[in-house]
Amino acid sequence: MSPRRVFLSHTSEFRSFPEQVSFVAAAERAVSRAGDAVVDMAYFSARDQQTAQYCRSRVASCDVYVGIIGFRYGVPVRDQPKMSYVELEFRAAVDAGKPRLVFLLEDRALVPVVAFSDIEYGQRQRELRRWLQDSGVVTASFNTADRLETAVFQALTELREHVWQPDERGGVEALPPRRPWMVPRLPRRVVPRIEVAGELVRALLRPNTAPVAVTTALVGAGGFGKTTLAAAVCSEPEVKARFPGGVLWVTVGQDVDGADLAGKINDLCEALSGARPTLVDADSAGFRLSELLSDRPDTLLVIDDIWDEAQLHPFLRRAPACTRLVTTRIRNVLPHEAAAIAVDAMEHDEARHLLTSELPPLSEDGVGRLLELTGRWPVLLSLVNAAIRRKVARDTQVGHAMTKVEERLRARGPTAFDIRRGTDRKQAVAATVEASLDPLGEGELDRYFDLAIFPADTDIPVVALAMLWSDRGDDIDDVEQFCEELADLSLIAGYRHDHDNSVVRMHDVIRRYLRDRCGQRGLIARNQVLLKAGQALLSESSEGAATSAWWSLPDDAHYGGGMK
């Protein structure tokens, strides 16, 4: 968020007695709090020596005009003696089409009206104040420095939320606020889940009556496609029309709380207002979010992957025009009024579509057996599909490929299982992942298990993987090629390849499987390798000096969970 240049214009009594009248300092603090920079003509050379043209150019070079109007008319402009500098600056902002925020000192203020009124120009100032009031361009009135600071800060913050244009009175006409669209990109292969999606759409379209009610919540074990379903439904035309305020999306995750949770809420606040709070308490951040949501058109807030009530609580503060859509695998974390929609195994035709996607015709008997083995679990179906596709790409007959994958599943897991039972579900994940791991060589398999040490729900930079695997001779091109292979096998949830910031992301179900397979000792050993790689960078960056200063790492030596 780039700072704006705010032109601060004020009548002269506000600098006459700064000890008693700290209005200018209050306005400057507000501008700074809003993340902007002050431009004040008082900081330039003697004001009464400036020409009208110079003042106009200074105003035109700024982004926002803020006028603090008291009782003194001020010094006339050198080459326009019938106009004060304050009035000239306001009219210059009008001519330049700048947003104008005007704050008027009240008659009952502590500043004595008579003592600070101009004898010669008092009538002019009274006429200017009256014209500003009658024209409706005054943003707020004030009588104390605290009230002025609050009003200026709020006005600057709200201005970031709006596209604006001059109105007929010379003030600011607010157009509809920015419409954030934070819905994640859908996977390449998405099978419409017609029945559950229809139920979810109907729930979202219902009027929201309870002040903090979760309109609907998707409940189900990991890997059933809750996140994908929520993202797909957000893109439905009737849902878009229902929420003119846009869609906010936050992914929480199992271990996120405290300052980390507050940071995610701060991200949402910044998406709404353009100004990022620096709050480290999640409840305080939630209160600020509710303030921003309260004055908006109907807005959808998707809170993805909630694990406990404490994580959800900050998102539930009163905001009548906000609808919450929660995804969680734990039903009892939801408020009692939530309309929970269970996301379970896919319907038969949906599962068959996902299993056979981009493959030659398969035998119906073989498809039926694989649907039974996978329990029609979307994440498992995707993995089986990827394993068969990879074998076919290596000139294996599709029937033989399907048989090999089925045999692998049966050898590593039960022949029949209840997908809703946690122990069987874990075995199913292991069997399916291991079937998909067959194409990986021994060294590649070891690298894949290294992904278990990175945090959940985190973008893992490819440069971090290159650092981790540098002792094996891998360069950045090798790592990127390997990530592409993992994405093709559906062994990672996503791979985004950018020139400067390529990242991968793990699916949480598979990540837990990898961590279980590694065990505590294995995770410790793999973390030690990463730390040693970081230490090697430290010694290189400090030219041989012994140091453990993490801030001396190169700029690209980081990942979302936090080396730097």
Distances (CA, A) of 452 to 29, 83, 509, 518, 522: 46, 71, 11, 8, 10
Say if 167 falls within a structural domain: yes
Say if 66 falls within a structural domain: yes
User: Do 129 and 71 lie in a common domain?
Assistant: yes
Angle at 173 between CA 169 and CA 176, to 5 degrees: 165
**What pairs with residue 342 in β-bridges?**
219
Strands 503-505 and 460-461: antiparallel
489 against 263, higher pLDDT: 263
Q: Which has the closest alpha carbon to 166: 90, 242, 223, 222?
A: 90
User: Do 235 and 310 lie in a common domain?
Assistant: yes
Say if 125 falls within a structural domain: yes
User: Do 421 and 466 lie in a common domain?
Assistant: no
- According to the model, what pLDDT value does residue 373 have? 79
Say if 180 falls within a structural domain: no
The mean pLDDT value for 403-412 works out to: 79
Task: Tell me the per-residue pLDDT of 480-505, one tens digit each, with 9 for 90 and over.
Answer: 888 888 876 767 877 877 666 788 88
Task: Tell me the per-residue pLDDT of 312-331, one tens digit each, with 9 for 90 and over.
Answer: 999 998 888 899 999 887 77
The whole domain housing 540 covers 442-552
Rounded-to-integer distance, Cα 12 and Cα 14, Å: 5
How many domains does the chain divide into? 4
- Residue 30 burial (10 A CB sphere; 0-12, 13-18, 19+): buried
Distances (CA, A) of 304 to 229, 312, 423, 510: 11, 10, 24, 18
Task: Tell me the per-residue pLDDT of 291-307, one tens digit each, with 9 for 90 and over.
Answer: 889 878 899 999 998 88
CB within 8 A of 477, min separation 6: which ones?
none
Say if 145 falls within a structural domain: yes
Q: Which residue has the tokens 């009782």?
A: 71
User: Do 362 and 237 lie in a common domain?
Assistant: no
Say if 181 falls within a structural domain: no
* Residue where a domain terminates, one of 436, 457, 475: 436
User: Do 70 and 27 lie in a common domain?
Assistant: yes
Say if 290 falls within a structural domain: yes
User: Do 275 and 416 lie in a common domain?
Assistant: no
Rounded-to-integer distance, Cα 69 and Cα 86, Å: 8
249 against 35, higher pLDDT: 249
Q: Which has the closest alpha carbon to 558: 483, 480, 458, 481?
A: 458
Q: Sorting pLDDT into bands at 50, 70 and 90, what band is 524? A: very high
Q: Which residue has the tokens 């179900």?
A: 509
Q: H or E segment at 264?
A: helix 258-273
User: Do 129 and 236 lie in a common domain?
Assistant: no
Length of the chain, in residues: 564
* Residue where a domain terminates, one of 342, 374, 399: 342
User: Do 71 and 39 lie in a common domain?
Assistant: yes
User: Do 337 and 461 lie in a common domain?
Assistant: no
CATH of the domain at 245: 3.40.50.300
User: Do 447 and 427 lie in a common domain?
Assistant: no
* CA atoms 18, 23, 29, 32: torsion sign: negative
User: Do 9 and 56 lie in a common domain?
Assistant: yes
pTM of the model: 0.53
Rounded-to-integer distance, Cα 69 and Cα 78, Å: 21
Say if 187 falls within a structural domain: no
Strands 162-166 and 172-177: antiparallel
* Residue where a domain terminates, one of 312, 327, 342: 342
Q: Which residue has the tokens 């990898």?
A: 514
The mean pLDDT value for 332-361 works out to: 84
> What torsion, rounded to 10 degrees, do the Cα atoms 157, 162, 164, 169 define?
-60
User: Do 360 and 299 lie in a common domain?
Assistant: no
